[in-house]
A and B are shown apart, each in its own frame.
Chain A
Amino acid sequence: MFENYSHQGFFDEIFGETGQGRPHYRAVLERLSEMGPEEFARRVALSELTFRNQGITFTVYGDEQGIERTIPFDPVPRIIPALEWDVLESGLIQRVRALNLFLHDIYHQAQILEDGIVPFDLVYSSPHYRREMRGVTLPFNAYTHVVGSDLIRGEKGSYMVLEDNLRVPSGVSYMLANRVAMTRIFPRLFRSYGVRPVSQYPTLLLEQLRSFSPRAISEPTIVVLTPGQFNSPYFEHAFLAQQMGVELVEGRDLLVDDGRVWMRTTGGRKQVDVIYRRLDDDFLDPTVFRSDSNLGVRGLMQVYRAGRVALTNAVGTGVADDKAVYAYVPRMIEYYLKENPILDNVPTWLGWEPEGLEYICKHAEELVIKPVNESGGYGLFIGSQATREEREACLVKVRENPRNYIGQPIISLSRHPSYYFDSQKFEPAHIDLRPYILVGQDVQIVPGGLTRVALKRGSLVVNSSQGGGSKDTWVLHHEERTRMEEQ
């Protein structure tokens, strides 16, 4: 099944430089060769059908033909040994702690700006800086309650943070669905490996949401606020609401009256305490933000500022995942925690700084150029794959609005074997990792996360909106890891 598989030129997750399978992958490789290509393909096809019938889909904007697609599921697990995970976990906890201290700081004393660590202008020029949040006190001083940081591994296999998704990260439902699918495809492997469970995520999230309730009552009303069923990750919104046993609401189901938020029910109105909102700040409240939005709730911000309703994530977190502010995260860690960053950033040049702009313009062919406030892989420019005209067009935009762009070296993302139906073979595909981090009174991370796969041959973009797929991620227990290595 692995004939002609090329493991060279990039860091391969399964095969070391000599072409030998890494120890923690041996059992998977054995099971695959035991199963044989036909049986494997049969099980994969079955899982595809399950996903389609269950409607585990996402919507691709601007695609006229098929509005809903299933996200391609790649059934070879990505395995992370326990010690490797320990480092990632402590690195991520450190990072989100610093980011939350930063957010609290810039909406209060702004000491880090006074001290000249992060420039004033950079923060205040971010469209995601929300003046409305100045001086607002939040439970546990927590802002980014649900975080989905993207981690990548470079040529040598060292992990780096590519971006922090601090607004409304999605994909956690795929993590959960992938796990269920994998236990059906490879029941025996789960028994032999000690894979740490992930299914507790909805329960952890619910507990966390409860802890934010402004009313000290035993059963606070918690809702998931969705833009509606035509929103790309709608399936996920519905899924999470169902798993937590709370109402999935749209803006039109809520109203503000008497200084409180209510939802409309068949029996009259009911007070809402915590809103897990799955829409951006811009759409939350037309009286404060975009006035043309009818997805949100009129007057919501006023109730929120008065502390009579909790929002997850907090309003105004986007300023810290602005890709230009991202460059300063290692400095934030040193400043607030007096620690060295455990996880590295990807080297970043800011269009905002004159030297940065000059570098971006001179080295555009070797860089990925990104708009600072986009997500989902939209607006990416990859220097090595662009024509001269495309490059020029991109640089024109960069020069017009340098604050809006950053440049990063093209990282050779690590690769992992994926199964391709057309060639009926395993071929290498680039991957990243998005762990899901919950921040409340404590920081909690479900072991693993969503491994995204750039299934388009040769592509470096893993986003589902750009033809990416995903695979299950197994974090191993300590004892199992040791046992495996002894074998």
Chain B
Amino acid sequence: MLSRIAENMFWMGRYVERMENTSRLLDVNYHAMLETTAVLEAQWEPLLEITHTQEGYLKHFQSVEAYPVALWLASHEGNPSSVLSSLTFARENARSLRERISTEMWESLNSAYLDLRSRGTLMDEGSLHRFCNSTRDASHLFFGIAEATLPRDQGWYFLKAGRLLERSDNVARLLATFYVTYRSGPNASLILTHHYWTGVLKSVSAFEAYLKEYQGALEAHNIAEFLILSESFPRSVAYSLQSLESCLEHIAEDNPEVEQAVLRELGWLRAQLQYAQNVTEILEGKRINLKGVLESLGEISASIKRTYFAARG
């Protein structure tokens, strides 16, 4: 497979997943925080932190407030990670892959893009939910079509690898931010704790699955365990990395002459998570911690690039 095509497939997967994650994050937290404005001051900084866009935001806005943050994450031109920017990049990739992907895949992204563009960048708060819903659906539709129509060649595995890497990165980042912010201190009331952690779980569609697994108790330690180590929940870090490994193995099989450093790096990260004594060791540990996990994910992404995308003579 052409290196450029592989790279575009990979990034298309990442961008669509990013679009979905950001819109869910925005939708859940925006509406949840409105509910508690009477009890405490809403905190919007974490949303900027999770999406890694604090710096850019402060170039365009003076203070961190509800509406500007929503606008920033949804469709602000200056934010390369906004929902709209992610969709735009995904579509650009899809456009350059027209002859590679199924027509339906392209059409789903193209019509979502045209639809969003036609609404303009400024939205009122009333339409935010609809905006987020429609982009989340666009992602589901896109990957659903891919699942049903894309041949299982390297292109498929690169698309999936991009999606899984983005997803594990997102969950790890979310946890790294909120765990520090919300770790139940002695002062936190039950209502607030409940409120916080519900938001975290819903941000990654994990609320219902978590309740089933742990019978209802919203406890920071359990939630972290679930989001990092669950072997059955499809958005957990461990689950995503396991699927990622299988994708990269398929790709490696197709390219027997290529040196496979990336599989070693991924295997090492998985082993560290799998054989940690408990989740606290991962959250606060000296040998491995969430920051380290995020760094390793960055390394793995760079290594995929070096191995398969870099121009070689």
Q: Which residue numbers of A lie inside 8 Å of B, CB to CB?
A: 52-55, 228-229, 234-235, 238-239, 241-242, 247-250, 252-253, 255, 257, 263-269
A264 and B312 contact, CB distance less than 8 A: yes
**CB closest chain-A residue, reference B6:** A266
A266 and B1 contact, CB distance less than 8 A: yes
Partner of B99, one of A53, A248, A263: A248
Which B165-223 residues have C-beta < 8 A from chain A?
none
Contacts of A265 in B (CB 8 A): 1-3
Task: Decide if B39 is an interface residue (CB 8 Å cutoff).
Answer: no
Q: Which one of B95, B100, B114 has the highest number of Cβ atoms from chain A below 10 Å of its Cβ? A: B95
Contacts of A239 in B (CB 8 A): 98-99
A229 and B95 contact, CB distance less than 8 A: yes
Beyond the given A53-B107, A264-B4, could you list 11 further A-B residue pairs with CB under 8 A, ordered by the A residue number? A53-B111, A54-B106, A234-B95, A235-B98, A239-B98, A250-B4, A266-B1, A266-B2, A266-B254, A267-B254, A268-B258
**CB closest chain-B residue, reference A240:** B99
A-B contact pairs, 9 of them (CB 8 A): A53-B114, A229-B95, A234-B95, A241-B99, A247-B5, A257-B313, A265-B1, A267-B255, A269-B313
Minimum C-beta distance from A221 to chain B (A): 12
Q: How far is the CA of A381 from the CA of B1 in the complex (A)?
A: 47
The interface size bin for chain B is: 20 to 34
B4 and A252 contact, CB distance less than 8 A: yes
Tell whether A266 pairs with B251 under 8 Å between CB atoms, given A242-B99, A249-B2. Answer: yes
Partner of A263, one of B2, B107, B114, B308: B2
Q: How far is the CA of A257 from the CA of B308 in the complex (A)?
A: 20
Contacts of B254 in A (CB 8 A): 266-267
B2 and A253 contact, CB distance less than 8 A: yes
Contacts of B258 in A (CB 8 A): 266-268
**CB closest chain-B residue, reference A268:** B257
Q: Which residue numbers of B lie inside 8 Å of A, CB to CB?
A: 1-6, 92, 95-96, 98-100, 103, 106-107, 110-111, 114, 154, 251, 254-258, 308-309, 311-313
Minimum C-beta distance from A57 to chain B (A): 10
Q: Give the interface SS of chain B, mostly helix, strand, loop or mixed.
A: helix
**CB closest chain-A residue, reference B91:** A55
**CB closest chain-A residue, reference B107:** A53
B312 and A55 contact, CB distance less than 8 A: no
Contacts of B95 in A (CB 8 A): 55, 229, 234
Contacts of A263 in B (CB 8 A): 2
Contacts of A238 in B (CB 8 A): 98-99
**CB closest chain-A residue, reference B103:** A54
Contacts of A257 in B (CB 8 A): 313
Q: Which one of A228, A241, A247 has the highest number of Cβ atoms from chain B below 10 Å of its Cβ? A: A247
Minimum C-beta distance from B6 to chain A (A): 5
B311 and A266 contact, CB distance less than 8 A: no
Contacts of B3 in A (CB 8 A): 253, 264-266
B110 and A247 contact, CB distance less than 8 A: no
B110 and A264 contact, CB distance less than 8 A: no
Q: How far is the CA of A269 from the CA of B154 in the complex (A)?
A: 16
A55 and B106 contact, CB distance less than 8 A: yes
Minimum C-beta distance from B258 to chain A (A): 6
Q: How far is the CA of A268 from the CA of B254 in the complex (A)?
A: 11
Contacts of B6 in A (CB 8 A): 266
Minimum C-beta distance from A251 to chain B (A): 11
Minimum C-beta distance from B213 to chain A (A): 38
A229 and B92 contact, CB distance less than 8 A: yes
Q: How far is the CA of A253 from the CA of B3 in the complex (A)?
A: 8
Contacts of A252 in B (CB 8 A): 4, 311
**CB closest chain-A residue, reference B5:** A247
B99 and A264 contact, CB distance less than 8 A: no
**CB closest chain-A residue, reference B251:** A266
Q: Which one of B4, B106, B154, B311 has the highest number of Cβ atoms from chain A below 10 Å of its Cβ? A: B4
Minimum C-beta distance from B5 to chain A (A): 8
Partner of A242, one of B1, B98, B257: B98
Contacts of A241 in B (CB 8 A): 99
**CB closest chain-A residue, reference B92:** A229
B154 and A55 contact, CB distance less than 8 A: no
**CB closest chain-A residue, reference B308:** A266
Contacts of A228 in B (CB 8 A): 96
Q: How far is the CA of A248 from the CA of B100 in the complex (A)?
A: 9
Q: How far is the CA of A235 from the CA of B94 in the complex (A)?
A: 12
A268 and B2 contact, CB distance less than 8 A: no
Contacts of A247 in B (CB 8 A): 2, 5
Minimum C-beta distance from A222 to chain B (A): 13
Contacts of B2 in A (CB 8 A): 247, 249, 253, 263-266
Contacts of B107 in A (CB 8 A): 53-55
Q: How far is the CA of A267 from the CA of B252 in the complex (A)?
A: 9
Q: How far is the CA of A250 from the CA of B99 in the complex (A)?
A: 13
A55 and B110 contact, CB distance less than 8 A: yes
**CB closest chain-A residue, reference B257:** A268
The 7 A-B pairs of least Cβ separation, nearest first, read A242-B99, A238-B98, A267-B255, A238-B99, A241-B99, A266-B308, A229-B96
